[in-house]
A and B are shown apart, each in its own frame.
Chain A
C-alpha cells in the first residue's frame, strides 16, 4: 500500500506505462539480499533504494580500504577503517530514510547463507569469489528464490537472472569451481556501476513485470565498444542442483 509520500517520491516512475501503483507496491513489499556492497553491490543497492525497494539486507565483511575508493561509491575517504556495511547503511539512509536496512558485517558463508536467503524475496550475487556465489545459488535453488547474478572483469560485464526451475542456475553454467579466477581483478568503477544498473533493471522487471526480464539469457556488456548483447543459455540435464525442478 503506497502512502501519499510514496506517490510524491516515485511520481516520475509511476508515469511509466505498465508500471503504476501495483508495481511500486510490489517493490515496497520486497526484501532484497545483496551479497557485498562493493563496486557492484554498492551502486546496485543505491538503485534499488532509488526505485523504492522495501528492505535491503547488506552482507559484507571487513573494513573500507583506500584502494576500494575507485568503485565503492557508497563509501567515502573518511570511512576508511570502518565496517563497509555500516558506511553503506549511512549513505543509503541519508538518501532514503524510509527504506529498512539490515547490515550483516560478514560475508556469505555456509553458516549464514540459508537463513539470509530465507529472509529475502530476491538475492543479488555481487561477491568476488565463486565459493560465495555457489552458496547463494544453492540456497536460491533449494528455497526457490530468484537470484540476479552479475559479474565483471576489465571492460566486460555479464548479468544472468536466475529463476530456479525455469532458467539455468549458476551450476548449470559452471559445473565445477573455476580454478583460475582470482580475488583481485582489473576494474573501473564506471564499469561495475554500469553492470550493477543493468542488474537492478533486470530485478525491477522480474519483480514488477513492467517489461520482460532476460530469463534464459546471459546479458553481455562490453564497455570498451559499448555493445550490449545477449546469449541464450541452457539448463543442464545433469545439473546436481536444479535438474529435478
Chain B
C-alpha cells in the first residue's frame, strides 16, 4: 500500500517538500505516521507536530482522503487510504 503525505504551511518548509510517498506497515495508525515523519524531517518539523510530552499537537489538522481526522491515535490506515494532508495552523492576514 502506498500513501501520499501532503504538507502545508510551515510543515512544507520544515520538511523541505510539499509531499512524499510512503508504504506504511499494516496496522499503522495516523499518529504513528506523524511520529515517523517527525523522526525523518528533523527538529523543526517535530516541534510543529508534537507537544513537549510527545503527544500530537491538538492544533495540527489532519485530513485522510478529504475528511478531517479527530482521533489520529485510533485511526488505523486501511488498504483503501490514498492521501493524508497535514495542516499546521496558519493566520496570515
Chain A residues whose CB sits within 8 angstroms of the CB of B13 once the complex forms: 154
Chain A residues within an 8 Å CB radius of B67 = 231-232
Which residues of B sit under 8 angstroms from A126, Cβ to Cβ?
93
Instruction: Report the bound CA distance from A230 to B66 in whole Å.
Output: 7
The answer to whether A224 has its CB under 8 Å from any CB of chain B is yes
Q: Is the CB of B93 within 8 A of A38?
A: yes
**In the bound complex, CA of A181 to CA of B66 (Å):** 24
Interface residues of A in 189-245 (CB under 8 A from B): 192, 218, 220, 222, 224, 229-234, 236
Asked whether, in the complex, the Cβ of B93 is within 8 Å of the Cβ of A40, the reply is yes
Inter-chain contact B8/A220, CB cutoff 8 Å: yes
Q: Which of B10-39 contact A (CB under 8 A)?
A: 10, 12-13, 18
A side interface size, CB within 8 A: 39
Name the B residues within 8 Å of A158 (CB-CB). Answer: 87, 90
Which listed residue, B48, B58, B66, touches A180 by the CB 8 Å rule? B48
User: Does residue A69 face the partner (Cβ distance < 8 Å to B)?
Assistant: no
A85 beta carbon closer than 8 Å to chain B: no
Shortest Cβ distance from B48 into A: residue: A180
- Is B66 a contact of A156 with CB atoms below 8 Å? no
CB distance from B4 to the nearest CB of A (A): 13
Minimal Cβ-Cβ distance residue in B for A127: B93
A184 to chain B, nearest CB (A): 9
B54 within 8 A of partner (CB): no
The answer to whether the Cβ of A117 comes within 8 Å of any Cβ in the partner chain is: no
Interface with B: A4-12, A15-23, A168-176, which one? A168-176
| Interface-central residue, B57, B58, B88, B91, by most chain A CB under 10 Å | B91
CA distance A165 to B86 in the complex (A): 26
Report the minimum CB–CB distance from A177 to chain B (whole Å).
8
Determine the chain B residues whose CB is within 8 A of the CB of A231 once the complex forms. Answer: 61, 63, 66-68, 85
Q: Is the CB of B90 within 8 A of A151?
A: yes
By the criterion CB–CB under 8 Å, are A128 and B92 in contact?
Answer: yes
A41 interfacial by beta-carbon distance below 8 Å: yes
A95 within 8 A of B: no
Please, which residues of chain B bring their CB within 8 A of the CB of A153?
9-10, 90, 92
**A218 to nearest B CB, angstroms?**
8
Assess whether A181 is in contact with B90, with CB atoms less than 8 Å apart: yes
**A residues engaging B (CB < 8 A)?**
36, 38-41, 126-130, 133, 151-154, 156, 158, 173-178, 180-181, 185, 187, 192, 218, 220, 222, 224, 229-234, 236
User: Nearest 5 A-B pairs (CB), nearest first?
Assistant: A178-B89, A231-B63, A153-B90, A128-B93, A152-B92
